[in-house]
Amino acid sequence: MRHGCDTVIVSRRQDKLKQSADLLTKATGRRCVPIQMDVRKPEQIIKAVDDALAQMGRIDILINGAAGNFLAPAASLSFNAFKTVMEIDAHGTFNVSKVVYEKYFKDHGGMIVNITATLQMRGTALQTHAGSAKAAIEAMTKHLAVEWGPDRVRVMCVAPGPIGDTEGMNRLGGKHLTDNIVKLIPIQRIGTKQDIGDTVLYVVSNAAQLLTGTTIIADGGNCLTDDNNFIARRAMLQKFSKL
Question: Which of these segments, 18-26, 61-69, 105-113, 195-203, binds ligand HXC (CB under 6 A)?
Answer: 61-69
Q: How many residues bind ligand HXC (CB under 6 A)?
A: 20
- For residues 112 and 156, what is the distance between their CA atoms, to the nearest angstrom? 6
Pick from 85, 145, 157, 185: which binds ligand HXC (CB under 6 A)? 85
Determine, following the binding rule CB under 6 A, whether residue 70 of this chain makes contact with ligand HXC.
Answer: yes
The answer to whether the beta carbons of residues 197 and 139 sit under 8 Å apart is no
Residues 6 or more apart in contact with residue 196 via CB below 8 angstroms: 115, 158, 160, 163, 218
The answer to whether the beta carbons of residues 168 and 69 sit under 8 Å apart is yes
Q: Closest separation between CB of residue 89 and ligand HXC, Å?
A: 7
- For residues 240 and 135, what is the distance between their CA atoms, to the nearest angstrom? 28
Determine, following the binding rule CB under 6 A, whether residue 37 of this chain makes contact with ligand HXC.
Answer: no
Question: Which of these segments, 1-9, 17-25, 72-80, 150-158, binds ligand HXC (CB under 6 A)?
Answer: 72-80
Q: Closest separation between CB of residue 141 and ligand HXC, Å?
A: 16
The answer to whether the beta carbons of residues 33 and 56 sit under 8 Å apart is yes
Determine, following the binding rule CB under 6 A, whether residue 161 of this chain makes contact with ligand HXC.
Answer: yes
Q: Closest separation between CB of residue 37 and ligand HXC, Å?
A: 14
Taking residues 100 to 129 in sequence order and writing x for each that binds ligand HXC by CB under 6 A, - otherwise, the string is -----------------x-x----------
Pick from 11, 28, 84, 214: which binds ligand HXC (CB under 6 A)? 84
- For residues 30 and 6, what is the distance between their CA atoms, to the nearest angstrom? 6
Pick from 17, 121, 125, 130: which binds ligand HXC (CB under 6 A)? 130
Beta strands in the chain (DSSP E): 7-11, 32-36, 61-64, 110-115, 153-160, 215-218
The answer to whether the beta carbons of residues 137 and 116 sit under 8 Å apart is yes
Q: With respect to ligand HXC, which residue has the nearer C-beta, 170 or 188?
A: 170
**In the chain, how long is the greatest CA-to-CA distance?**
54
Residues lying near ligand HXC in the complex (CB under 6 A) are found at 67-70, 72, 78, 80-81, 84-85, 88, 117, 119, 130, 161-162, 167-168, 171-172
